[in-house]
Amino acid sequence: MNTPGDMGKAEGFQPKIVAFICNWCTYAAADLAGVSRLQMPPNTLNIRVMCSGRINPMMVIRAFSHGADAVLVSGCHMGDCHYITGNYYARRRLLTLKSVLSGLGIEPERFRVTWISAAEAQDYQHVITEMVENVKRLGPLRMFKGGSTVAPESSGCAEA
Amino acid sequence: MRDYKAESGKLRRLCAELLEKGTVQCIVAWTEGEDRPRAREALIDKSRPDLVQKMVWSPFCTTSTVTFLKKNKAALAAKKVGVVVKDCDFQALNVLLQEHFLRREDLVIIGARCDGLAEADLFGRPAADAPVTSDAEGVAVGKERRRWEDFGFTCCLSCSYEHMKPDHVIGEYGRKKGSPEWKHLSKVLSQEPAKRREHYSAVFDKCIRCYACREVCPVCACVECAIDPGERAITPRTAPGEKAGAPVWASHERGVSENAVYLTTRTMHMAGRCVRCGWCERACPVGLPLMEIIDLGNDAVKRIYHYEVGRDPADPPFLVSYAETDPDDKGAGH
């Protein structure tokens, strides 16, 4: 992990991207991308959730504070949610968060909310590739680093 | 010109009648004492007719009766409670009603139309019978006059809320409400992201995590705060599962990163709930420009969703509802 101090847009910088992806659409798209052997950078840490509506804004904030350089939340297209309305709730919540984070100075490219269906493996590849490129250009994120962080083992994110 | 002596008289008569008839068991209202023109909240019932005579409404009623009400167990337990509110308190009350923290049928709302708040400190020690008046330009206590802009209540200058629908009304607006223009925010947002990050990091760094902003907030009413789960004491009888189920979102340590989690989370929690009373900023012991942070959420709600906080008590809370017409990723970001 980068520590504050060794920053700069160094050549060898490998961004850490946390991707919260929904079980029914984007996870399947990621799976399809894998079996279709679509090439994409290996910088993402995929976390499968049952629905994008499950994403609490605090999870995203916590990911940033634990050292993520970018966060992706991806779910089903509007109207295609397995739970009918989960992604509608997610959309309102996460776009508000996006606006807050970008106001704080976290570039909008670092927090993306996308809707990718199970068939759109190429879209998934495109989003991941684009994000990695963008974040490499922007460099490591410093804001939430430095100072103390909770030891990872004590920060189980079981419930809101 | 508004004469607050007359308005307070009307308020006292109304409240005495409500208590006398038994319409309400108790009333949360501002009272004044020795340090007039300052006013503070009190819970008044039938057994205290002297307090009814001390009831007051003026621009010096700066504190929130809703903050008082939501923490007062006696008031919450009463079957019917009267509450005297100004515009921002009424908004906060609507937010709490939307979240079912309070029930409308338990409340009798007495709304005092507010032109803005004033600092008593700027008036020294006025005579006990000096009348408090206000007009479009400012506030006067006796002969002493100050302009609205002189006071530190910057949020009042940009307050445009005129949608109070209480059960009883005290007073009429004496001036045109301010324009909802947030200059402090546009000043910050005109900078580059890296500069903003620097600016906010410096703010986060200073926070001492005393949670005064949370305690003083009229709409912060969660039984247990996600950031500081103080209610969940761990005893020998606490089950392991219960401990495991309690996430530690942010440690209590002070540090840019942990403070950032606290304040960003608070901003998100306030989105669609903040009534912009400005009390968090005024309560902050280290003088952080908290409205610059909280308004990022308020701005998003207003700009992207055109949502007005605290309009209708029957609305679902903003962040736990949706509309199919919500925009898709456009408009977010600065």
Q: What is the pLDDT of residues A58-114, one digit of tens each?
A: 999 999 988 899 999 999 999 999 999 999 999 999 999 999 999 999 999 999 999
The pLDDT tens digits for B131-166 are 999 999 999 999 899 999 999 898 898 888 888 999
Q: Which of A88, A103, A147 sits opposite B255 (nearest CB)?
A: A147
Q: Is B71 within a domain?
A: yes
- CA–CA distance, B17 with B331 (Å, rounded to integer): 51
Q: Report domain extents, chain A.
A: 17-141
Mean pLDDT in chain B? 90
Q: Which of A89, A92, A156 sits opposite B247 (nearest CB)?
A: A156
Say yes or no for a CB contact (<8 Å) between B258 and A143.
no
CB-based contact (8 Å) between A154 and chain B?
yes
Please check whether residues B126 and B268 belong to one and the same domain. no
Hey, how many other C-beta atoms are within 10 angstroms of the C-beta on A149?
20
Please check whether residues B98 and B152 belong to one and the same domain. yes
Provide the residue range defining the domain that includes B21.
2-170
Give the nearest chain B residue to A84 (CA atoms): B324
Q: Is B235 within a domain?
A: yes
- CA–CA distance, B318 with A33 (Å, rounded to integer): 36
The predicted pLDDT at position B223 comes to 81
Please check whether residues B142 and B216 belong to one and the same domain. no
Say yes or no for a CB contact (<8 Å) between A100 and B250.
no
Say yes or no for a CB contact (<8 Å) between A96 and B268.
yes
Q: Is B326 within a domain?
A: no
Here the tokens at position A93 are 């919540």
pLDDT at A145 over 90: no
- CA–CA distance, B1 with B271 (Å, rounded to integer): 36
- CA–CA distance, B313 with B23 (Å, rounded to integer): 22
> Which CATH superfamily is A17-141 part of?
Lumazine/riboflavin synthase (3.40.50.960)
What is the distance in angstroms between the Cα of A52 and the nearest Cα belonging to chain B? 14
The average pLDDT across A113-140 equals 95
What is the distance in angstroms between the Cα of A19 and the nearest Cα belonging to chain B? 17
The pLDDT tens digits for B204-256 are 999 999 999 999 999 998 888 888 776 667 788 888 877 777 777 887 778 88
Q: Is B175 within a domain?
A: no
Q: Which of A85, A108, A143 sits opposite B201 (nearest CB)?
A: A143
- CA–CA distance, A109 with A127 (Å, rounded to integer): 11
Q: pLDDT band at residue B54, thresholds of 50, 70 and 90?
A: very high
Please check whether residues B60 and B99 belong to one and the same domain. yes
What is the distance in angstroms between the Cα of A43 and the nearest Cα belonging to chain B? 23
Q: Which helix (H) or strand (E) holds A20?
A: strand A17-22
Task: Tell me the one-letter amino acid at B147.
Answer: R
pLDDT at B23 over 70: yes
Domain boundary among B107, B140, B170: B170
**Higher-pLDDT residue of A98, A147:** A98
Q: Is B178 within a domain?
A: no
Report how many domains make up chain B.
2
The pLDDT tens digits for B82-100 are 999 999 999 999 999 999 9
Say yes or no for a CB contact (<8 Å) between B257 and A146.
yes
Mean pLDDT in chain A? 85
Please check whether residues B135 and B65 belong to one and the same domain. yes
Please check whether residues B198 and B106 belong to one and the same domain. no
Domain boundary among B121, B136, B170: B170
The predicted pLDDT at position B51 comes to 92
Instruction: Please state the ipTM of this predicted complex.
Output: 0.90
The pLDDT tens digits for B253-293 are 788 888 999 999 999 999 999 999 999 999 999 999 999 99
Say yes or no for a CB contact (<8 Å) between A144 and B260.
yes
The average pLDDT across A117-125 equals 95
Say yes or no for a CB contact (<8 Å) between B248 and A154.
yes
pLDDT at A13 over 50: yes
Give the nearest chain B residue to A148 (CA atoms): B255
Q: Is B333 within a domain?
A: no
Q: Which residues of B touch A95 (CB under 8 A)?
A: 300, 304, 326-327, 329, 331-332
Please check whether residues B162 and B29 belong to one and the same domain. yes
Please check whether residues B10 and B155 belong to one and the same domain. yes
Please check whether residues B140 and B117 belong to one and the same domain. yes
The average pLDDT across B112-118 equals 93
Instruction: For residue B153, give Cα distances in angstroms to A57, B95, B150.
Output: 31, 22, 9
Nearest to B29 by CA among B12, B4, B46, B13: B12
pTM for this prediction:
0.89
Q: How big, in percent rounded to 5, are the helix, strand and coil portions of chain A?
A: 40, 15, 45
- CA–CA distance, A57 with B176 (Å, rounded to integer): 38
Task: State what percent of residues in chain B have pLDDT above 70.
Answer: 96
The predicted pLDDT at position A6 comes to 43
Please check whether residues B142 and B194 belong to one and the same domain. no
Phi (first) and psi of residue B170, to 5 degrees: -115, 125
The average pLDDT across A17-30 equals 96
- Which residues, 6+ apart, have CB-to-CB distance to B122 below 8 Å? B146, B150, B151
Please check whether residues B206 and B312 belong to one and the same domain. yes
Domain boundary among B124, B140, B170: B170
Please check whether residues B199 and B297 belong to one and the same domain. yes
